[in-house]
Amino acid sequence: MAERSLKLEIRDMTKRYDNGDGVEHINLKIYEGEIVTMLGPSGCGKSTILRTIGGFLDVTDGDILIDNESIVKLPPEKRPTAMVFQSYNLWTHMTVYENLAFGLKLRKIPKDQIRADIDKHLKLVSMSGFEKKYPTQLSGGQQQRIAIARSLLLKPSVLLLDEPFSALDAKIRQQMREELKKIQAELGITVVFVTHDQEEAMALSHRIVVMNKGKFEQVGTPTEIYDNPATKYVASFIGEMNFVEKDGKTVAVRPEDVAITSEPADIQGCVRTIMVLGHYVEVNVQCGDLVVKCFVDRDQSERLNPGDPVNLKFLKTHIF
Amino acid sequence: MSKKLKQMLAAYGLVLPSFLTVMLVVAWPILTAIKTSFTDPDTGGFTFDNYKYFFETPRELTNILFTLGIVFLTVALAIVLAYLLALYLRFVKSKVSRLIGNLYLLPRFVPSMVAVYAMITVVRDSGLLNRISQLFGGDFKPGMMYHASGLVTMNMWFNIPFAALMITAGLGAIPDSMIESARDVGASKLRVLRSMILPLSMKDVVIAATFVFMSNVGSFTTPYLMGGNYPKMLGIVLFDQFNKYLRYERAAAMSFIIFLICSVSAGVYIYTNLREKEWEK
């Protein structure tokens, strides 16, 4: 990413709410054409950061720059950002076309140009032919597509998405995720995405910022964060992880890195449950008070029965 | 008896008590009043004279126009002020706005008679305002008693909290993200008000306006205590015909005129409420 130009920079930014909550000393650089996801549980401050970028919250301290220019003093309507909210994005008293045209009209763009732009963007989000519909006549997923199109129409420098898919059902969510990734690749736009869904973050992002209690726990690519979690919190938040206490240290091992063998290995136990999850099988092994989760292939699982004594070998571990 | 017939009889039987009550206490008095309004007091025959009196006597015509003027002014001022108050309560988050949010309904809990007398002690020419001006060597006489300005001012006391209550509920139903997304695409605050907040709350404004209109057309307490001898509000005109001149036929005609004026506003109310806008389907 280093060869790419810097798009958005957050410099030592602090936002404190009246009740003392907030985020402190946030530093982040986001490069042109990147999808960066803020990931964390609700209340961790991820939306706060997004809203300070969008201009919906004032910062207490620090600076935010886009293309090396400070935007921290600008109101939302003057910022080169566009935001898609979790829900109620569209104006219910306007048709899809009017929703899309509103921002362009404010910019005094000629009518023909507006029509052409809207046609193009409706095609981009696969919503051609819906111009005359009102938002309440659309499904949640369709509304979010229009909301994304509306934001993209304004050619923002940075697109901000605040849990845009969390109100949608699982299947639509996956589909929207894939489409967003495609659109982003086509346009090369810089995206800051906020979610509490680690799977969504892994699937979409070039880089993930894992947040906890107003602080960054780790910043890295999905692979880096999955393979080398920096803290125990990141290890537990991203993907599945077993934690085993050994010699006063916590050993973390992913279920796919636990091998079931008959030879003496790291830890002993008895098979507790066997669950087929499609092409792989989850085997839970009771080791004293602890239940260790292992992912094994179908062939091996067929030789196992609940109650069988087994040895577990940790192929790859993280020590915290 | 067939099952269907039994069900039908049961259904009508259940509706009957309320139907009879409505007939007895609403429809019957209205119908007799209408009949009385078309009756000649001397001959007992049919006549338009009771209505002609109100529309052909210049003095009475002035009373009708005066009432309409007061009511329209009250509606316009109350709605504008209530809208501003509701906007403030909805969008300004501060200790003061929270305090006002808790206090603004207080006037609704003061009996109207008490409120009018309280206002009189403040605005009459020897009232509180006058006394305060005397402290500074002046002699300010508001001149609001027995004058339209007093009536309208008093109407504000009653109607702003009421209208604000309705409009605040309407504004509360507009999600923040709708307003924020409008700001986000480049709309200034004024533009958001014009293109988003006003159209989205227009229905509540119209409904509040019809309520304010209806309750003021036939208002009595305020004009009785604060109004002048001439021109008079229609509530007082009706009262005089009935109680002073014992002209029951004219009183009936007047009540029907008030009813007709109100029914225009009721029509607007029903139309606004029933009209399913395209975007609400």
For B218-246, how does the pLDDT look when each residue is reduced to its tens digit (9 = 90+)? Answer: 999 999 999 999 999 999 999 999 999 99
Residue B246 buriedness (CB in 10 A; 0-12 / 13-18 / 19+)? exposed
Only one residue has tokens 């921290």, namely A72
What residues in B contact A136, CB-CB < 8 Å? Answer: 279-281
Distance CA A27, CA A11 (A): 5
pLDDT tens for A21-45 read 899 999 999 999 999 999 999 889 9
Which residues lie closer than 8 Å to A111 by C-beta, 6 or more apart? none
Q: What is the model's pTM?
A: 0.84
Closest CA of chain B from A107, distance in Å:
8
DSSP letters spanning A2-69: TTSPEEEEEEEEEEE-TTS-EEEEEEEEEETT-EEEEE--TTSSHHHHHHHHHTSS--SEEEEEETTE
pLDDT of residue A249: 87
Which residues lie closer than 8 Å to A135 by C-beta, 6 or more apart? A90, A91, A92, A94, A96, A99, A143, A146, B279
Pick A89's closest partner by Cβ from B177, B183, B188: B177
The answer to which of A244-248, A306-310, B71-75, B149-153 has the lowest mean pLDDT is A244-248
Residue B251 buriedness (CB in 10 A; 0-12 / 13-18 / 19+)? buried
**Average pLDDT of the residues of chain A:** 92
pLDDT at B280 > cutoff 70: no
- Residue B191 contacts residue B116 (beta carbons within 8 Å): no
Strands A280-287 and A267-276: antiparallel
Which residues lie closer than 8 Å to A185 by C-beta, 6 or more apart? none
Q: Determine the residue among A85, A93, A95, A159 to mutate to test chain B binding: the one whose Cβ has the most chain B Cβ atoms within 10 Å.
A: A93
Domains and CATH numbers, chain A: 6-233 (3.40.50.300), 243-319 (2.40.50.100)
Distance CA A63, CA A6 (A): 15
Distance CA A237, CA B16 (A): 66
* Per-residue confidence band for A201, with pLDDT thresholds at 50, 70 and 90: very high
* Residue A128, SS3 per DSSP: coil
The average pLDDT across A213-217 equals 91
ipTM over the 0.90 cut-off: no
Residue B5 buriedness (CB in 10 A; 0-12 / 13-18 / 19+)? exposed
In chain A, residues 8-37 whose CB comes closer than 8 Å to chain B: none
- Put simply, whether A149 touches B (Cβ < 8 Å) is no
pLDDT tens for B156-201 read 999 999 999 999 999 999 999 999 999 999 999 999 999 999 999 9
Amino acid symbol at A142: Q
pLDDT of residue A248: 83
Size of interface A-B (CB pairs under 8 A): 77
pLDDT at A167 > cutoff 90: no
Closest CA of chain B from A75, distance in Å:
8
Helices marked H in chain B: 3-22, 28-37, 49-56, 58-91, 95-103, 112-123, 128-135, 148-172, 176-184, 189-192, 198-217, 221-226, 234-239, 248-274
In chain A, % of residues over pLDDT 90:
75
pLDDT of residue B157: 94
Radius of gyration, CA atoms only, chain B: 24
Q: Bridge partners of B39?
A: B46
pLDDT tens for B48-60 read 999 999 999 999 9
pLDDT of residue A157: 93
User: How is chain B split into domains, by residue range?
Assistant: 46-273
What residues in A contact B178, CB-CB < 8 Å? Answer: 88-92
Please write down the HEC assignment for all residues of B145-174.
Answer: CCCHHHHHHHHHHHHHHHHHHHHHHHHHCC
pLDDT of residue A1: 45
pLDDT of residue B108: 86
Q: Bridge partners of B54?
A: none
pLDDT at B277 > cutoff 80: no
User: Residue B160: which of B92, B80, B230, B221 has the closest Cα?
Assistant: B80
pLDDT tens for A141-159 read 999 999 999 999 999 999 9
Q: What share of chain A is helix, strand, coil (3-state, %, to 5)?
A: 30, 35, 35
Distance CA B249, CA B226 (A): 27
Distance CA B270, CA B203 (A): 11
Closest CA of chain B from A72, distance in Å:
15
Closest CA of chain A from B190, distance in Å:
12
Distance CA B231, CA B219 (A): 15
* Helices first, then strands: H and E counts in chain A: 9, 18
What residues in B contact A147, CB-CB < 8 Å? Answer: 181
**What is the CATH topology of the domain spanning B46-273?**
MetI-like fold (1.10.3720)
CA atoms in the 13 A half-sphere facing the CB of A156:
29
Q: Determine the residue among B91, B94, B177 to mutate to test chain A binding: the one whose Cβ has the most chain A Cβ atoms within 10 Å.
A: B177
pLDDT of residue A3: 65
Give the distance, in angstroms, between the CA of residue A79 and the centroid of all CA atoms in the same chain.
Answer: 23
Q: Determine the residue among B94, B174, B184 to mutate to test chain A binding: the one whose Cβ has the most chain A Cβ atoms within 10 Å.
A: B184
What residues in B contact A92, CB-CB < 8 Å? Answer: 178, 200, 279-280
Pick B279's closest partner by Cβ from A83, A134, A147: A134
User: Residue B74: which of B202, B208, B199 has the closest Cα?
Assistant: B208
Q: What is the DSSP letter of B46?
A: B
CA-based torsion, A212, A218, A223, A227: positive or negative: negative
User: Residue A135: which of A195, A88, A65 has the closest Cα?
Assistant: A88
Only one residue has tokens 């059902």, namely A169
What residues in A contact B177, CB-CB < 8 Å? Answer: 85-89
- Put simply, whether A147 touches B (Cβ < 8 Å) is yes
